[in-house]
Structure 1
Amino acid sequence: MTSKPHRIQAGYLPGLPAAEVDWQVLPFAQGSESLEVAVPVLSAAQMDALAARVRGASALHLKTMAVSDIIAVIDQAIARLLDRSDPYRQQAEAYLPLVSGYDREMVRLGLTGFFKTFRAAQLHRFVAEDFANPKLLDGFQPTPKGGAVRAFGPDLLVHNWAGNVPALALWSMVCGLLVKAGNIGKLPSAEPLFAGWFARLLAEVHPPIADCFAVVWWRGAGEDGASGGASALYAQADTVLAYGGNEALDAIRRRLPVTTRFLPHGHKLGFGVVSASALDAHKAPTLARLAAWDVMRYDQQGCYSPHVFYVQRGGVVSPRAFADHLAGELANLHRRFPRRPLSVEDSAAVARWQQAVEWKALSSPSGQEAADQLIGAPSAAWSVAYNDTPQPLAPTATQRTIQVVAVDALDDVVPLVAPHSRFLQTAGIAAAPAELYRLAGLLGSVGVTRISAIGAMSAPEAGWHHDGRFNLLDLVRMTEIEQSAELAAEPFAPYAD
């Protein structure tokens, strides 16, 4: 006889009694463990009331705070999330592996690394990345050309979050707080827990801002909801920030008024480049270990995860030997951080990818080394495909499937990735300094927006320019007082007589 699943109520609805809200139950199970998450489904009238409350509270409390004070509040909340004895951190460690399917130790380490990027020092750097003078968010500041300027965040910022990585909602929610927006976020069905927890934690840390944000849910893009809550919220939003697949983003875009600012972040392709200078007998095994971490973290579900490593010939360690090292490290990491159980759809995608690699190998001319080689057993919880001839960048099946491609020169990588310029984001590079800067310039010209070390591809720095854009500047509008207005005001001053 199985025990009744534990139930958690998700979301955060300031001013709305839970008894007056409809709740949809989302079931999760991993092995013998099961969980039910109740997510709030609001009517159009309830969503209108919630939006008005968040907008009003933000104007009264959040917009009157200095940015440094907002950072201090976020820092207090993050300090609690970094404390493994805190109840919020404990429930994150207990339930996020259950809803996501990821290994518990992977989630624990991932959360710690992620939360560390939101401490006060990192947030101050985050603001300084976009604003040479962060005081622009607090009041009018003088400009070099004369006059003054101030940055205003949206009155109501709506977030549509993706759930492929646990706690991913933290990025945009913090951005919204830093520009003093009223924030309402839509929970992803794949990970409907963390955003509500963070909202409650912020309310505990600083009660005056408890009504400045809310966390809601609706199915998909909202088309099938009879309540009309999604449409009501989109109609009130000043700005919508959305993450997800291109089809989902397009569905959201079509629902928005033409005057609403829309900031979409869709699927991206990441890749790595390894110079021959990094492939001596000492450096290559260490580099393969770092590359394996980038593949292993959250099973390549992040937009920054690698799909291909382009490895230059001419080093002491050959590209094929590097692929063997990578396969060995992925096997080691699987023993420490087992891959999450795959759905039928994901298992089929991995099998198709492996079969395509094997078919190419079987189709190679007799007596010629196979162009594609699958390293390791197809039944393993990881797959490395090696290709000895240049191959265009292409997505793998994720779930720890990676391709290693040999190239003669680093410049050869550029035409292989250029056709996917609209989908490029992160490139991990292992090369000497002069090679790094020259290659970064070439890759930047074809669409790459982030260059990282291999091993850091799936752990962006605080304040990184997501998809090459500004995290905070894109959310604000600038109001300028021209010098002419300043000069015209002088005759009206009391001291002018």
Structure 2
Amino acid sequence: MNPETMNPEALNPKAVNREAVNPGVVNPGAVESEAVNPELAAAGVHFWQGSFVDDEEAARRLAELPELAARTLAEPLPTELVLSACRHLADALGAPDGPVRARLLGVLTDGGTDPEEAAATLSEIADAISRPALERKLRRELGGLHPERLTRPDARETTFEAWAPVGLLVHIAPGNAAAVAPLSVIEGLLTGNLNVLKTSSGDTLLAQHLLAELAGADPTGTLARRIVVLRFSSARTAWLRLLCASADAVAVWGGEDAVRSVAELVPAGCRLIEWGHRISFAYLTRDAWSDGATLDALAADVCRFEQQACSSPQVVYLDTEDHAEVFAFAERFAAHLAATSAELPRPELEPAEHAEITTTELVARLEEHLGLTRVIAAEDGSWRVLADTRPALAASPLNRSVWVKPLPRTAVMTVLRPMRRYLQTAAIGGSRADVARLSQAVLAAGALRVTPVGGMLDSYHGEPHDGVYALQRYSRRVSVRADEAFTTTACLDDLAAPAVVPAAPSGPLLDKAGVQEQLRTLEPAHAHLYFRSGGSTGAPALSVFTNADYDTQMRAAADGLLAAGFDPARDRAANLFYCGGMYGSFISFFSILERLNATQLPIAAGPDHAATAEALVTHGADAVFGMPSYLWQLFHAEGAALRAYGGIRKVFYGGEHFTAEQRRVLTQEFGVEVIRSAAYGSTDLGPLGYQCTHAEGSVHHVLTDLHTLEILDPQADRPAPAGQPGRLVFTSRTRAGQRLERYQIGDLGRSVEGVCPCGSHTPRIELLGRYGDVVRVGTYFLNVRRFIAVAEERLGYRGELQLILDAGDGRERVTVRLDERYAPDPAAAAAAFPAAIAELASAVDEDLLDFTVETAGSGAFERTATSGKLRTVIDRRQLTV
């Protein structure tokens, strides 16, 4: 192992475990920061909370670091701010001719970096901080996209847990891996820390300028207050002491000597996070070492990155004790290494590197006389294979130099375990059974990852680094245990302050047709789960989600259900939503209840009401979930059985609303105690809002963890006045593939001001129906909800109501259809509606339309085939034109 070589995997994300997500639409203005103005940058080489400063100013501020930490860490850092800023910066880095990329390329090349290497470094960083990669990293390492929020890991208990920052996190970065330093700081930001980065005095200013650009992408200034970058030599021990004395954790890269020198400065109780040197090897069975393709792949692993990566092979072990086989393999492998090396340009070696290679090769050649070794090397010195009969693990001098040694599988533990602190990657070549058995052996000996031969330097987003997750090492797991007063509280943070919600993007509004058009170009990687809408407002539309999208949404909806009063520790839920035909209600609520660890009966809506009622009674269901129209039919078709049971205490509905009279019947006649919306949502966007125990009517809290909401004027694309009705326009922030930005879903609503009586600061809206609830007939606008209210208030009607529009002979016709079980005399109803609805009366008086009332059985009411929703407005005029 070369103790001076930090495996610089700036060009290989695996080595530093810096994974992240796919960029979105760049907002150039968002990444233009005053902090990166060249004139300001000229003020110094240190970046301190948004400003470039010189040595004198940095020294003054260092003395005040403890006070700065206390002040800064008192302010929470929402993960959403970091994700949003990283997405903007990733987009800017990905723009080939963009000003941000040009500036940072200049910083690297001015510092002596090869232009091609500089471009590759920025591309790697852009990929690492893209939103999809960071989201995957957060899910894998910290369990979700908002790890800083105190939520209930088990919904049956009122215990809240979160990942909290360690506090002041000092990063002591290596001097030969350009991407490591800024990416480590971004990991520190994802975990909410105040980050102080020390870079080498010989480094370029990439970390300073890149992090300045990141800070500039956050208009709130919160990120800037969490970033300090200092550039100085480790010989400046006074500054190092000041950094470490105030630190809650120190992350250090380097060999044992470097780590030891930092450890001496770290105070008691400070977490020391070591990212030290590692060594990797390949292990081949007889079948594998006889295969030419395997040897070609191994040669490629040796040549990539000149073995500078921790995951590069330095030793090739053979499953044999026969020294002759080792020497014979070395001869064969040398031919493959020579061919591969000839295809790849080799950089000039530094004098120290050349000297180490020469020394290692000379010693090996001297030991040939003892029968211990054999050296096969290129005449021009571009590569070498060092065969050695002794199995002990040994570091190679790198730069296309590799040892070949015998190691029978029975001796794996004996030989490798003493080096367990240094082992990283093992590439195993052999049969499927060999790979399984040998993986167990090398992992038990201390290796941290196993790969195929030829894939040692490859990685995947979310992969652990050196056997740990970086985000967990930069965090603390904290908990709050509460009493039953918090049974309906899903997130403790919502009781403290409003969540930080990024502003909606600018740009055109998106409609349903635009959403469907997006699906034509959606990549298969973003299309795991397909749903169709119920078709209550038109032809069924397709919606596509990734499995991760779906999981995030179901967890958010589950939190909302807790707020609505569902108690997973006590309630027994019957899922009576419709199922089949790719319709998502039943499946979604199955998932929601599953994530709440609730007891559920997945019955689904069906025509056999007697069988459903029997299941409810037999299995003791006390909470039912379903469409109001279906539940209303069920309660009346099986009224006698359900009244006798008397066990249904809670009704959670979706897709429609219960009228006040229907609520009264359920409460007084069936003993229902809670009637509440299970969720407000749409098939396209998923869950959008939830009701709490203090919600009345159609008031819902907005799921701000998922969406940004705008309420626009009904007639113009400008914000509606506070508290006034407007169009609901949502931007979903947690969807991969589909970009549902400024999507107007066809609903009307208004904001509800003030803090909710439930104590949550989450914003609220009152739903006011859909655009389709208002129809133009005979030059007048009629709202079906007004008809429902009149039927309830003036006629005492408690059934369903449909408004039917026909072209008629010469003039249009409006028919109100009522359920014959609850309807008054049609003549009395026909008189009541015009008397209460002035627009209807005027249209009739002016002979613009005919108005009638009809009564019918519940089977005559038209419903959507998929969801079972009642079609409140049936417009037949277009069909008869």
Distance 1:357 1:288, change over 3 A: same
Q: 1:14 to 1:292 in 2, by over 3 A?
A: same
Residue 391 of structure 2 is aligned to residue 357 of structure 1 = no
1:166-188 deviation digits (Å, cap 9, x = unpaired): 31224422210110111110002
Matching residue within 29, 47, 58 for 1:12: 47
1:182 is the counterpart of 2:202: no
Q: 1:263 aligns to what SS in structure 2?
A: strand
- Name the residue aligned to 2:418: 419
Change (3 A) 1:372 1:110: farther
* Corresponding residue number in structure 1 for 2:466: 467
1:216 matched to which residue of 2?
230
Query: Which residue pairs with 1:233 in the alignment?
Result: 243
Deviations 1:263-321 (A, max 9, x none): 1122211112234444455523541343234xx31x33333332112245799x94531
Amino acid at match of 2:229: V
| CA distance in 2: counterparts of 1:110 and 1:177, whole angstroms | 21
- Native 8 Å contact 1:292 1:329 kept in 2: no
Q: How far 1:106 sits from its partner (Å)? A: 5.2
- 1:95–1:202 CA distance, 2 compared to 1 (3 A): closer
The question of whether the paired residues in 2 share the 8 Å contact of 1:55 and 1:212 is answered with no
SS at match of 1:472: helix
Matches within 5 A, 1:179-328: 179-207=191-219, 208=221, 209-220=223-234, 222-223=236-237, 228-279=238-289, 283-293=293-303, 296-297=304-305, 299-312=306-319, 318=329, 320-328=331-339
SS in 2 for 1:466: coil
Partner of 2:349: 341
Taking a change above 3 Å as real, the CA distance of residues 342 and 97 of structure 1, as seen in their structure-2 partners, is farther
Which amino acid is 2:230 matched to?
Answer: V
- CA drift at 1:358: 1.1
When residues 134 and 434 of structure 1 are mapped into structure 2, their CA distance, relative to the original with a 3 A threshold, is farther
Distance 1:458 1:10 in 2: 34
Alpha-carbon distance in structure 1 between the residues aligned to 2:174 and 2:149 = 31
Moved more, 168-177 or 270-279: 270-279
Cα distance, 1:85–1:435 mapped onto 2, change above 3 Å: farther
Deviations 1:335-376 (A, max 9, x none): 3xx324313x33221111111121122333xxxxx7322322
**Is the contact between residue 48 and residue 232 of structure 1 (CA under 8 Å) also seen in structure 2?**
yes
Structure 1 pair 191–349 and aligned structure 2 pair: CA distance change class (3 A): same
Q: Secondary structure at the match of 2:347?
A: coil
Residues 1:242 and 1:401: Cα distance change in structure 2 (over 3 Å): same
> Amino acid of the residue matched to residue 365 of structure 2?
E
Task: Provide the TM-score with structure 1 as the length reference.
Answer: 0.78
Who is 1:36 aligned against?
none
Q: In 2, Cα distance between the equivalents of 1:8 and 1:46?
A: 15
C-alpha separation in 1, matches of 2:125 and 2:190: 18
SS of residue in 2 equivalent to 1:248: helix
Task: State the partner residue of 2:85.
Answer: 73
**Offset at residue 85 of structure 1 (A):** 2.8
Unmatched tracts of structure 2, length 5 or more: 1-41, 488-692, 694-756, 759-881
TM-score norm. by structure 2 comes to 0.46
Q: Shift of residue 113 of structure 1?
A: 4.4
Note the residue ranges of structure 1 that are not aligned, 5 or more in a row.
1-6, 23-40, 365-369
In 2 relative to 1, CA 278–473 (structure 1 residues): closer, same or farther, beyond 3 Å? same
Mapping for residues 33-48 of structure 1, pairs under 5 Å:
42-43=58-59, 45-48=60-63
**Which of 377, 388, 398 pairs up with 1:375?**
377
Question: Letter of the aligned partner of 1:461 in structure 2?
Answer: Y
Q: 1:347 to 1:444 in 2, by over 3 A?
A: same
Per the alignment, in what secondary structure is the counterpart of residue 234 of structure 2? coil
Larger radius of gyration: 2
Give the Å deviation of 1:134: 4.2
Q: Which amino acid aligns with 1:339?
A: P
**Matches of 1:263 and 1:329, distance apart in 2:** 38
| Separation in 2, partners of 1:322, 1:8 | 55
**8 Å CA contact 1:289, 1:326 repeated in 2:** yes
CA contact (8 A) 2:44 2:55 kept: no
Tell me the distance in 1 between the aligned counterparts of 2:338 and 2:413.
25
Give, as a single letter, the amino acid of the residue that structure 2 aligns with 1:166. A
> Could you tell me which residue of structure 2 aligns to residue 398 of structure 1?
398
For the structure 1 residues 457 and 91, does the alpha-carbon distance in structure 2 shift closer, same or farther, using more than 3 Å as the test?
A: farther
Which residue of the partner structure matches residue 386 of structure 1?
387
Q: Give the secondary-structure state (helix, strand or coil) at the position aligned to 2:216.
A: helix
Distance 1:13 1:68 in 2: 22
Rounded to whole Å, the distance in 1 between the matches of 2:314 and 2:112 is: 21
* 2:439 equivalent to 1:440: yes
Q: CA deviation at 1:391?
A: 2.3
Greater RCO, 1 or 2 (C-alpha within 8 Å, sep 6+): 1
Letter in 2 for 1:342: E
Give the conservation status (yes or no) of the 8 Å contact 1:14–1:214: yes
CA contact (8 A) 2:331 2:376 kept: no
Amino acid across the alignment from 1:353: T
- 2:402 maps to a residue whose letter is I
Q: Matches of 1:258 and 1:458 in 2, distance apart?
A: 37
Structure 1 residues 399, 8: CA separation in 2 closer, same or farther (over 3 Å shift)?
farther
Asked whether the 8 Å contact 2:85–2:214 carries over to 1, the reply is yes
Partner of 1:38 in structure 2? none
CA RMSD of aligned residues (A): 3.3
Q: Deviations over 1:215-271 (max 9, x none)?
A: 103322643xxxx33222222211111111111111111111102111112221111
Which residue type is aligned with residue 393 of structure 1?
A: L
Larger helix fraction of residues:
1
Q: Structure 1, residues 126-166: CA drift from partner, whole Å, max 9, x if none?
A: 11222234433233334367212122113321101112323
Identity %: 22
| SS of residue paired to 2:147 | helix
- 1:118 and 1:383, CA in 2 relative to 1: closer, same or farther beyond 3 A? farther
Q: CA deviation at 1:50?
A: 5.9
Deviation at residue 471 of structure 1 after TM alignment: 1.1
| Distance in 2 (alpha carbons) for counterparts of 1:327 and 1:98 | 35
- State the alpha-carbon separation in 1 of the partners of residues 137 and 93 from structure 2: 19
